[in-house]
Structures are given as structure tokens and as C-alpha cells.
Structure 1
Amino acid sequence: MGTDIYGFIETRHPCADEDWYDGEPWSVSTPLYPLYDGRDYDAFGCLFGVRNRLDWTPVAAGRGLPADASEAIRHDYEKWANIDTAVRGCTWVAWAELRDLDMTVRPAARGVLQLRSAKSVIHQYRIDDQWPEELVDLYPIPPFGVSPDQALAGRWDLPDVTLEYGPLTRQAVLGPGTGWEHVFGVMEALGRRFGPDGVRLVVWFD
């Protein structure tokens, strides 16, 4: 079974700390979908520690539902958690944290090797100190390097498949073309109104 992400962007009312203000401190601005509708486990691992096959140091893993989450988010999360026991990994991250990410950070894994057909990705291999034995059994040692510690990023076209290898950074899994740029763009715009600590993304998975 695959893992999907759900969530909302929340903003904190500028007057939430005033004595006269009697509304909710946080309110929903927009759901995560349609800003992001992907299923990229490398991004999930990088940000939230979910499906973390490459051993990223996650940005915001396992924080749970914010204690002051808006009623709308609390209701939605509890409804689905009660219906589906697979719901897990609830956490949140502020725009202040995402805004200041070092996008050059890499996971513990050396990189990812993708085996592609003409139409889609057939398989992705986590690469550490050796090329996968099952891959070397099917094809010669990739020309990127005799061992991964010497390998440079590259692409290798064979008659039936293409092998593409490269190290990953946060930029590769969260930057332009990943879908996360839309989420970050909206959070950045809201941050100009509510402040970087007054905008957060609340998510969970199933």
C-alpha cells in the first residue's frame, strides 16, 4: 500500500494575544491539496521522517497535532483517525523553519539510482557503498564509477531501460518542479501578512 499526505496551512490571528480577542488563535487558510498532490517519499522523509528510506534528518517529525490547532483541523484529523487505523505521522512545521532551510543538506544515503522505461520509473534503488547486486547481475557495472563513492551524477541509456544516478539534496526533493514550491510560495505570501511564525503546515499520513 502507498502512503498519502493530507493537511492544511493555518495562520495565527494577529490579535490572538489580545485580552479582547475571543476567537480561535489559529484558523485554516487552505488545504494542502490542490497545492501539493504528490506521493514523493523522499520529500516525506526529508520533511517529516515518514517513509524515510534515505535516512534524512527530518525537519519536523513526530510533533503530533498542535495543542492549539484550529477546530476545523482537529475535527478533520480526528474524524479520519477514528475511521482509518492507518492514519499516522501527524506533525506540523512553521514557515519560519521552512523559509530558513539549508537546501544543500543531503541524507545519509549516497544517492538514488533510478531504473526507467520509456514511460515511467520501474524501480528506485537507495545507493550507499555498493551498486545493488541484482542490478549488476542484469547489467554491467554502471559507467558512473566502479563504486558509488567515486560516482558522479549521470544517465546511462540502454536498449530497453535508462539508468539515472545522482546524489540528492533538499533542493532536489523540495525545490522547483517537485510541487512543494507551490506550498512554500503560499506560505511565504501568508508570512508577509501573519509573520513567519504565524503560518504553519499541519499534516498527517495514511
Structure 2
Amino acid sequence: MGTDIHGFIECRHGYSADGGSTPFWQPAIELDQLYDHRDYDAFGSLFGVRGHQAGLEPLAPRRGLPEDVSETVARAHLGHGTTWISWAELAAADWDGAAPGPDAYLHRYRRRSPGDAWVFEERAFPVDRLAELSGLTPPRDRWPAGTEWRDGDVLLRVEPLTRRQTVHADTWAPVLSAMRVLAERHGGTGVRLVVWFD
């Protein structure tokens, strides 16, 4: 059975709902309006839920609901792995920092024509599957990072994952863009993503 993500982007206002001076949080948009995928690498890299084979320390694992969560989000919350992360934390993350060891999956690169730079395309099949298919015998501790195989304009490489490779731009861009725009008005610590899983 698969794991799905749910949640809201919340914004903090500098005044309370009853006109006082105490800031309060309110929902800006429900996550499923911006994101509707199952991206286990991202779930692991960001929140520590699934995707552990990436080997990256999650940015915001299992923090629970914020103490000052909005009533709307508190009522909607139903699941496990509940956590939250601010735009300030996402903006400050080391997106190009690599995991400490090689990924269990080969990374496939492609170039449009000879002489062009190799461009990361996706994580391909498991490294162990390469040995099975090709008859190659891997070293005792698998192939070291940097080992690669070329086939025309395709390159397969053993290497660590970066956080940028786990949080795929094509699926997460709407979420990150919405948070960035809201942070221009509310500040980096005044915008957060609250999520849970089922």
C-alpha cells in the first residue's frame, strides 16, 4: 500500500483574529491544490517518511503539529509522520550537498549530442540489478562512487544523491513557488508547510 502526503501552507499574520496584537497562523492553500504525487525520495529527504535509501538526513522529521497551528489545519489533520517546515529552512537548505555514501540506484545522464554536457535525467534501476543483468561481478562493497558505464548518449553512474535530486523540480515547483511568493509578504519564518501522511 502506498503513502500519500496531505497538508497546508500556512502564513503568520501580525495581528490576531479578534484585532489584538498577538500574531496568528492561518491556512493559505491546501497542499493537494499544488502537489498530487507520491515522491518517496522527497518524502524521506524533507520529512523522514519513506525514501530512506537516499541516505540524506531529513530537513524536518516528525516535529508533530505546531503548537500554534491554525484551527483549519488542526481539524483536517489525520495521519502519521506529522511535521512542518518553514520557508526560511527550505531557502537555507544545502540543496547540492550529497549523501554520505553512494545511492543504491544508478543515476542516468543523457546528452543531446556528442560534446554536450551530461544532464541528470533520473534514478535508474538498482546497482545490484546491473550486476544481475550484465553478468558483472561487483566488488565486495558494491562499486565505488564515480563508477560509470556509457552507452552512446546515455551515461549510468554510481554516485550519492543530492537533496535537489530527491525533490523533483517538475512536481515540487508549485509548492516551493507558492511558499516563496508568500514569504515576500510574510517573511521566511512567517510561511510554513504543515504535512502528514497516510
**Superposed pair shares fold, TM > 0.5:** yes
The alpha carbon displacement at 1:68 in A equals 0.7
Describe how 1:32-181 pairs up with structure 2 within 5 A. 32-51=31-50, 52-77=52-77, 81=78, 87-111=79-103, 112-113=105-106, 124-125=125-126, 131-132=127-128, 134-141=129-136, 147-152=143-148, 156=151, 164-165=156-157, 167-177=160-170, 179-181=171-173
Residue deviations 1:95-120 (CA, integer Å, cap 9, x gap): 000011111112234122279xxxxx
RMSD, aligned α-carbons: 3.1
Instruction: Write the letter of the residue equivalent to 2:33.
Output: P
The alpha carbon displacement at 1:205 in A equals 0.7
Change beyond 3 A, Cα 1:124–1:31: farther
TM-score when normalising by structure 1: 0.74
Question: Which residue of the partner structure matches residue 25 of structure 1?
Answer: 24
Instruction: Write the letter of the residue equivalent to 1:168.
Output: L
Change beyond 3 A, Cα 1:97–1:18: farther
Unaligned runs of at least 5 residues, structure 2:
109-121
The alpha carbon displacement at 1:192 in A equals 0.7
Q: Is contact 2:96–2:163 with CA below 8 Å preserved after alignment?
A: yes
* Seq. identity, %: 40
Give the distance between the partners of 2:91 and 2:81, measured in 1 at CA.
22
SS at match of 2:54: coil
Question: Which residue of the partner structure matches residue 198 of structure 1?
Answer: 190
SS at match of 2:37: coil
The alpha carbon displacement at 1:155 in A equals 5.9
TM-score when normalising by structure 2: 0.76
Question: Which residue of the partner structure matches residue 11 of structure 1?
Answer: 11
Give the distance between the partners of 2:11 and 2:35, measured in 1 at CA.
18
Instruction: Write the letter of the residue equivalent to 1:39.
Output: R
Change beyond 3 A, Cα 1:58–1:72: same
Unaligned runs of at least 5 residues, structure 1:
82-86, 116-120, 126-130
The alpha carbon displacement at 1:71 in A equals 0.5
Between the two proteins, the alignment pairs up a number of residues equal to: 177
Instruction: Write the letter of the residue equivalent to 1:46.
Output: S
Question: Which residue of the partner structure matches residue 128 of structure 1?
Answer: none
Give the distance between the partners of 2:146 and 2:178, measured in 1 at CA.
40
